[in-house]
A = this chain, B = another copy of it.
């Protein structure tokens, strides 16, 4: 038996461009804030058309790795950034819309993450000022949308307090992509006093440095918010 034939790898030009940029990032140790050459210049140096460079830029921008500004000066052009959140958010939102992911799966994931983050935040003795601020915002909220806004801030602050940026980014994306459903859930619930008590309990547990209690508080909180999925 001879070796299997490998299908010819169709490499599109813009993929080569991405690969070269990625290589440069790794080799030259480029980091967020550093500038990339201008599109025209990059196209010339790589011997490709500007369109291909632009498509590569679109991909990198979508992945939250570069950000482009028009105009002239030190801030203009393509700059390396670090926004995994927005990329993740877009990704989840689109796939929720495509029904390739179900709400149930997203909420389960959120529960997993949040339990972990709460426990981690509690045992790390993290700063809880962000949590308190968000709590106050929820009290002042006059609509479901506004409530959800601060609720999101609370839970993202919790994820931030865990000290893991990947977890925090995933959390932020999950919340953003399911904002619509959160508003529905709050509206359906009507009374938010239960949720308020939950939040206080979570905050207290984190402050007390009790990981297990923090995780349980979070779990019960989500059960209250989404009773139909429990």
Decide if A99 is an interface residue (CB 8 Å cutoff).
Answer: yes
Cβ of B64 and Cβ of A62 under 8 Å apart? Answer: no
Cβ of A91 and Cβ of B84 under 8 Å apart? Answer: yes
Chain B residue at minimal CB-CB distance from A163: B105
Decide if A55 is an interface residue (CB 8 Å cutoff).
Answer: yes
Cβ of B62 and Cβ of A97 under 8 Å apart? Answer: no
The complex is assembled from copies of this chain, and their number is: 2
Q: How far is the CA of A58 from the CA of B13 in the complex (A)?
A: 12
Stretch at the interface among A131-139, A165-173, A194-202: A165-173
Of the candidates A62, A95, A166, the one having the most CB atoms from chain B within 10 angstroms of its own CB is A166
Chain B residue at minimal CB-CB distance from A109: B166
Stretch at the interface among A24-32, A39-47, A184-192: A24-32
Decide if A87 is an interface residue (CB 8 Å cutoff).
Answer: yes
Contacts of A22 in B (CB 8 A): 94, 97
Decide if A14 is an interface residue (CB 8 Å cutoff).
Answer: yes
Decide if A128 is an interface residue (CB 8 Å cutoff).
Answer: no
Contacts of A82 in B (CB 8 A): 95, 98, 100
Q: Is the interface of A mostly helix, strand, loop or mixed?
A: helix
Closest Cβ of chain B: how far from A217's Cβ, in Å?
A: 18
Which residues of chain A from 52 to 92 have a CB within 8 Å of any chain B CB?
54-55, 58-60, 62-65, 80, 82, 84, 87-88, 90-92
Cross-interface CB contact of A98 among B25, B58, B112, B170, cutoff 8 Å: B25
19 A-B pairs within 8 Å (CB atoms) are namely A14-B58, A25-B94, A25-B97, A31-B99, A32-B100, A51-B51, A55-B58, A58-B58, A58-B59, A58-B62, A63-B90, A63-B91, A64-B95, A82-B98, A88-B91, A92-B166, A105-B167, A108-B167, A170-B170
